Amino acid sequence: MTVTVMCLCVTLVVGMVSAVNLAIPALSRSPLRPSAESVMWVVDGYVVVFACLLIPGGALADRLGRKRVLATGMGLFTAGCALCAVAPGIGTVIAGRIVSGAGAAAVLPTTLALMVGGAPAHRRPRLVAVWASMTGLAAVLGNVGGGAALQIGSWRALFWCVVPLSLVALALVVAFAPAPPRLDRPVSAVSAGLLTVGFLALLSGIVSGPQAGWGSVRVLGGFGAAAVLLAGWVCWELRREHPMLDPRLFTVPAVRAGAVGMALVFVGMFGLFYVNGQYLQYAKGYSPLGAGVRLLPMAGALLLAPRCAVALERRTGPRATLGAGLAVLAAGLGTVSLVGPSTPYSLYALGATLTAAGCGLATPLLSHGMMSALPPHRAGVGSGLQSLARELGSALGVAVSGSVVAGVFTAGLPEVLRGGPGVPTTVPAAEQRLVEQGLTAPGLRHAVLADFTTALDTSMRVLAVLVVAVGALVVAWYPRRAARTEGRRGG
């Protein structure tokens, strides 16, 4: 029963990362009328808090009791979803998402610890595999389940459907989760605060750029604050006797390659996830459920590609396999960058599937290289670093993709929509402006959709170039063969 309860909790907190992307069109059309910047914060407010509090969440669970922290995390997650469901304004939606993200950070590492903590040694590898597979399957369930929830109501229906499921999960945690002894593990609120606020400042600079201007005080202030705060985090961790995440780990090439590569892969994946639902609903006219179902080929690629990676590694070696995975990922993004309003779904599906396949090929190598470079007693740190890199990459992917789309979209709108106060930053806002001005010619709506797909294409090209450029460094850092001794020297 414990495994079932833990898997339910994982499915809920991870599934909401992808499910919300399908709700973007419905949210953008709602009476809240959010800007493109606000929509990005609805997605990223959850992900970045989730990412930055993962390692502190695991440490807090060890110190205060894993069952208690898991129950508290599910409570926060549920409360955040309920707040989003009743939110009177977009600011409240963002606040609810941040609350849910803090809860998710307490849930994810604790579920794994509770699953394997009391299990016999011979069962632990299988339980870890089950937990890892659920994190991948949850993204698929988020797309399909989120689409089904949106199909029966407004964007609020997504959050209303999650609330009772989360309450059931919370009740099951209280009833069935084990309560192992507490561990005296250090927790630093200062470290967690510096890391979280630093990345929020970085994302604020990226997300604010299209509207405020890249040279504005707001954007430059965000980047400056991020640099100061993240540098402060490094200095703080270096001075602590027992850091939660030792920055010196990044001096080990395999760890550096694993962390940067993992973040890079998820930058590409979630940059695409952010626009998937918008393209399939705005340009192709599919329903939310129809859009979710049409993303299932990505799930198949994510499940099959890791098996191919094993065979490819035996034939060509780890570096070549990693390079191939990153190349396939970039090729997928490049293929998506060719779509327009009238492009057949098959071309979009091909690009999305290649992107997922590249992710599936690269991530096992990145994970294995990082864990092999660390001594056994630091395996928990390596696992936490992988989760942190994955979620931060997801947040950065959304920010980069969303900012490029917003900037190119607003710059390319028809002239009739760029006059007057407040240039529309989303497709529904542009369509609403056309209705308000009595401009109902089909050609104008098609021009808006063409402008959106041009913006989408540009964002995918930016991500593809980023994957190629940074990916070359990752491959160069990655060792020809994993070596534990290096991790012992660096750790």
Residue from 383, 354, 368 nearest 322 by CA: 368
SS3 call for 19 = helix
How far apart, in whole angstroms, are the C-alpha atoms of residue 475 and residue 161?
Answer: 43
425 DSSP assignment: -
Looking at residue 152, what is its pLDDT?
86
Beta carbons of 467 and 329 less than 8 angstroms apart: yes
Predicted confidence (pLDDT) per residue in 425-478, tens digit? 889 988 888 887 777 777 888 899 999 999 999 999 999 999 999 999 999 998
Q: Alpha helices, DSSP H only, in 23-177?
A: 24-29, 36-52, 54-64, 66-85, 90-117, 124-151, 155-176
Helix 66-85 to helix 54-64 angle (10° resolution) is 130
pTM of the model: 0.88
Looking at residue 475, what is its pLDDT?
93
Q: Which fold has domain 252-491?
A: Growth Hormone; Chain: A; (1.20.1250)
Q: Which fold has domain 1-178?
A: Growth Hormone; Chain: A; (1.20.1250)
- Could you tell me the mean pLDDT of each successive run of 10 residues in the chain, 491 residues long? 86 90 92 91 92 84 85 95 96 96 90 76 72 74 87 91 94 87 75 90 88 87 94 91 84 89 93 93 92 89 84 87 94 96 94 93 85 69 80 92 93 81 85 81 87 96 96 90 44 39
Exposed/middle/buried for residue 351 (C-beta within 10 Å: 0-12, 13-18, 19+): buried
Looking at residue 423, what is its pLDDT?
83
Beta carbons of 429 and 406 less than 8 angstroms apart: no
**How many Å separate Cα 171 from the centre of its chain?**
27
Looking at residue 3, what is its pLDDT?
83
Q: Of how many residues is the chain composed?
A: 491
Looking at residue 488, what is its pLDDT?
41
